[in-house]
């Protein structure tokens, strides 16, 4: 390649920088990165004077090559050829370093620019945003404003995007105010980004207000708004907006589909997929990933296999999202061989999520030993994350592997992993299932945000149900909102301790004050609570108010309690129901024994 370049150029009559640059530009604009860089090397070698245009093209090529060492070399050549102080080239160097993920170098270059222009500022904001440092991006943006520079709409848009990336609603509102001040709030790109920012920060009303302004409706603002409703679970609102959209893209379809899967409405999701297939030929890797999530959740492996075949035929299997969704689908359908096979074929395109899915698939089926093996294999290739540890701790809990569990706990502490609510819960769960309630308590007490439910279950698991009431009191004191699992555990504790009145009060309060519909288990607990304490009047009244037909298990309990406390009428009632459920064996249940 190098030879052909130089031959070609030698044949030319004029070999000044101009024709070299023309070629360089052609290569670089057409994505011929290697060719452009080779040509540049020849240029330098032959002593052709490199101009601003030369470096602009070479830097563009460096940016697509994502090679930080190469970028540093070109950076030094820019200085050597006397272009220090050229704001365009220096901004380009900031850009290239940023693209390579070398934000320290990017920032150093930026700070060296004597008079950064609006493009320089845009580049630094954008790169911080892409690097995942939204805070820093917003910080640079406000520095720009303090210098009284007027940002481009793209820069404003990037700064707003940065706010959404870390949930900075306060900062977002301030930028919105600034946009109004300089009359940029009606700019198409800016207003769409604002809608998206408000939506992602959970302020749907503000998003809607901007969306409803005249002239701000297009596919993108519609899609943002639909997405906002969909991620907040407001699917009927999302659907209404979707139906009135002027046109649809594959993204708008995917947004709706994601909404249905997020709300676990698998039926509607499938229905929507059928509608989608009938309306458009557009299907991409996101659609397929979501489709596989649905197959995994139902679960329907045959459907999943059809999607797999489709993905294979259309070349989507090399996409890591599709690959991971496939792993998950096979795992959730219980086909661990399928998961393993997929995982092996993904050897060139797998990431830490793939490993986590593989781990979870084994752990979910109680195959903790295999999960442990996968974990040690994983350490050689990928970084474990909180997901990894969560799964591993659950696997330890299942096989009472206290020592391994402790090692994982120690590993997390020594490597500075953040131990959040979920991790605290997983640790408490592991320690209490391994019957080490002392450690479970220590983890629980030391946590800043506590997962009370796991501690309640731990106490119940270790025969310390009395402590559940202390936990409930502490919860109330700290204003922590109980959820379904809290009540389930609390009711179990009432059963264990004969706390009938408290149980009844909790059961009432569950739907009255917390709008939580009791589950079957909660009704069972109440039946046990009344029955075991011989409160047959209350039991009878409770059964009369049941909003559904009692289950066989409930009836058997009622039958047994009635026998014990000689509550014949209720016992006969239960026996009749049970006999109706078992017509093949008449009179299996009799409250008065035949003599």
Site residues for DNA per CB under 7 A: 122, 126, 152, 154, 157, 161, 188-189, 192-193, 196, 200, 219-220, 223-224, 227, 231, 249-252, 254-255, 258, 261-262, 284-287, 289-290, 293, 319-322, 324-325, 328, 351-354, 356-357, 360, 363-364, 385-387, 390-391, 394, 421-423, 425-426, 429, 451, 453-454, 457, 485
Task: Give 32 or 461: the residue with its C-beta nearer to DNA.
Answer: 461
Q: Indicate the residue among 327 and 558 with the shorter CB distance to DNA.
A: 327
HEC profile of 176-203: HHHHHHCCCCCCHHHHHHHHHHHHHCCC
Min separation Cβ 371 and DNA, Å: 10
Least distance in angstroms from the C-beta of 126 to DNA = 6
Task: Report the residue number, 23 or 317, with the smaller CB distance to DNA.
Answer: 317
Euclidean distance between CA atoms 543 and 524, whole angstroms? 11
Nearest to 492 by CA among 538, 459, 470: 459
Minimum CB distance to DNA smaller for 35 or for 196: 196
Measure the CA–CA gap between 493 and 201, rounded to whole angstroms. Answer: 39
DSSP structure string for 432-487? HHTT-HHHHHHHHHH-SS--HHHHHHHHHHTT-THHHHHHHHHHHHHTPPP-HHHH
- Report the nearest approach of DNA to the CB of residue 217 (Å): 12
C-alpha 97/C-alpha 89 separation (Å) is 12
In 3-state terms the chain splits into helix, strand, coil percentages (rounded to 5) of 75, 0, 25
We find the least distance from the C-beta atom of residue 592 to DNA, in angstroms, to be 39
Distance in Å, CB of 345 to DNA, minimum: 15
Nearer of residues 247 and 580 to DNA, judged by Cβ: 247
For DNA, which is the closer residue by CB, 40 or 222?
222
Q: Which is nearer to DNA, 218 or 551 (CB)?
A: 218
State in angstroms the smallest separation of the CB of 72 from DNA: 24
CB of 560 to DNA, least distance (A): 25
Residue number with CB closer to DNA (100 or 357): 357
Measured from the CB of residue 191, what is the shortest distance to DNA in angstroms?
A: 7
Contacts of 121 by beta carbon, 8 Å cutoff, 6+ apart? 140, 141, 144, 149, 151, 155
Q: Which is nearer to DNA, 454 or 562 (CB)?
A: 454
Positive or negative CA dihedral for 293, 295, 298, 301? negative
Give me the sign of the Cα torsion angle 6, 12, 17, 23: negative
Q: Which residues contact 79 (CB under 8 A, 6 or more apart)?
A: none
CB 292 within 8 A of CB 328: yes
Q: How far is the CB of 453 from DNA (least distance, A)?
A: 4
Q: How far is CA 247 from the centre of its chain?
A: 28
- Torsion on CA atoms 165, 167, 172, 174, rounded to nearest 10: -130
Nearer to DNA, 173 or 219 (CB): 219
Other CB atoms within a 10 A radius of the CB of residue 458 amount to 28
CB nearer to DNA: give 88 or 189.
189
- Distance CA(503)–CA(391), nearest Å, equals 33
How far is it, in rounded angstroms, from Cα 103 to Cα 97? 6
DSSP conformation class of 263: T
HEC sequence for 268-308: HHHHHHHHHHHHCCCCCHHHHHHHHHHHHHCCCHHHHHHHH
Burial (Cβ within 10 Å: 0-12, 13-18, ≥19) of residue 587: exposed
C-beta closer to DNA: residue 343 or 530: 343
Q: How far is the CB of 465 from DNA (least distance, A)?
A: 16
What does DSSP assign to residue 149?
-
Burial (CB count within 10 angstroms: exposed 0-12, middle 13-18, buried 19+), residue 421: middle
**Closest distance between DNA and the C-beta of residue 174, in Å?**
19
Task: Work out how close the CB of 77 gets to DNA at its nearest, in angstroms, rounded to a whole number.
Answer: 25
């Amino acid at each position: 390649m190098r030879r052909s370049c130089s031959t070609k150029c030698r044949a030319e009559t004029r070999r000044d920088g101009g024709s070299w640059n023309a070629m360089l530009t052609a290569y670089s604009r057409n994505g011929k990165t290697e060719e452009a860089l080779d040509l540049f090397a020849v240029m330098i070698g032959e002593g052709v004077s490199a101009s601003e245009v030369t470096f602009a093209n070479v830097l563009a090529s460096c940016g697509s090559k994502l090679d930080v060492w190469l970028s540093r070399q070109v950076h030094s050549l820019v200085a050597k050829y006397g272009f220090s102080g050229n704001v365009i080239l220096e901004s380009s160097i900031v850009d290239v370093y940023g693209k390579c993920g070398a934000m320290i170098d990017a920032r150093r270059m930026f700070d060296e620019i004597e008079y950064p222009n609006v493009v320089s500022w845009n580049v630094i904001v954008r790169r911080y945003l892409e690097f995942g440092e939204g805070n820093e991006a917003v910080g640079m943006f406000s520095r720009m404003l303090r210098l009284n520079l007027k940002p481009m709409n793209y820069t404003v848009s990037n700064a707003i995007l940065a706010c959404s990336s870390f949930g900075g609603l306060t900062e977002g509102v301030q930028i919105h105010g600034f946009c109004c001040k300089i009359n940029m709030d009606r700019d198409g790109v800016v207003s769409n980004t604002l809608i998206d920012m408000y939506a992602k920060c959970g302020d749907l009303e503000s998003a809607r207000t901007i969306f409803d302004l005249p002239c701000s409706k297009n596919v993108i603002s519609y899609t943002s708004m639909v997405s906002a409703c969909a991620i907040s679970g407001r699917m009927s609102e999302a659907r209404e907006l979707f139906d009135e959209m002027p046109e649809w893209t594959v993204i708008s379809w995917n947004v709706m589909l994601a909404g249905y899967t997020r709300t676990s409405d698998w039926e509607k999701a499938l229905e929507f997929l059928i509608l989608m297939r009938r309306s458009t030929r557009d299907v991409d890797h996101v659609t397929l990933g979501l489709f596989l999530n649905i197959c995994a959740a139902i679960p329907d492996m045959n459907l999943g296999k059809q999607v797999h075949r489709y993905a294979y035929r259309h070349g989507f299997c090399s996409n890591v999202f599709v690959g991971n969704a496939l792993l998950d689908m096979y795992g959730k359908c219980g086909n661990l061989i399928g998961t393993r096979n997929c995982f092996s074929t993904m050897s060139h395109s797998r990431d830490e999520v793939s490993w986590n899915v593989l781990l979870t698939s084994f752990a979910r089926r109680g195959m903790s030993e295999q999960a442990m093996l996968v974990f040690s294999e994983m350490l050689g290739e990928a970084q474990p994350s909180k997901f990894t540890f969560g799964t591993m701790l659950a696997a330890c809990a299942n096989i009472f592997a206290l020592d391994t569990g402790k090692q994982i706990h120690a590993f997390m502490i020594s490597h500075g992993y953040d131990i959040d609510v979920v991790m605290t819960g997983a640790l408490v769960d592991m320690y209490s299932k391994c019957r080490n309630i002392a450690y479970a308590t220590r983890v629980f007490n030391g946590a800043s945000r506590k997962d009370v439910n796991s501690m309640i279950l731990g106490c119940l698991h270790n025969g310390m149900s009395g402590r559940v009431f202390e936990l409930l009191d502490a919860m109330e004191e700290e204003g922590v909102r109980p959820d379904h699992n809290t009540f389930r555990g609390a009711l179990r504790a009432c059963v264990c301790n004969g706390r009938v009145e408290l149980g009844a009060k909790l059961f009432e309060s569950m739907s009255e004050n917390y709008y939580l519909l009791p589950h079957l288990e909660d009704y069972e607990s109440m039946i046990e609570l009344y029955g075991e304490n011989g409160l047959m009047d209350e039991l009878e009244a409770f059964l009369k108010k049941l909003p559904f037909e009692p289950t066989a298990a409930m009836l058997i309990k009622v039958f047994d309690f009635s026998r014990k406390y000689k509550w014949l009428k209720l016992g006969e009632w239960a026996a009749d129901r049970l006999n109706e459920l078992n017509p093949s064996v008449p009179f299996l249940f009799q409250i008065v024994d035949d003599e």
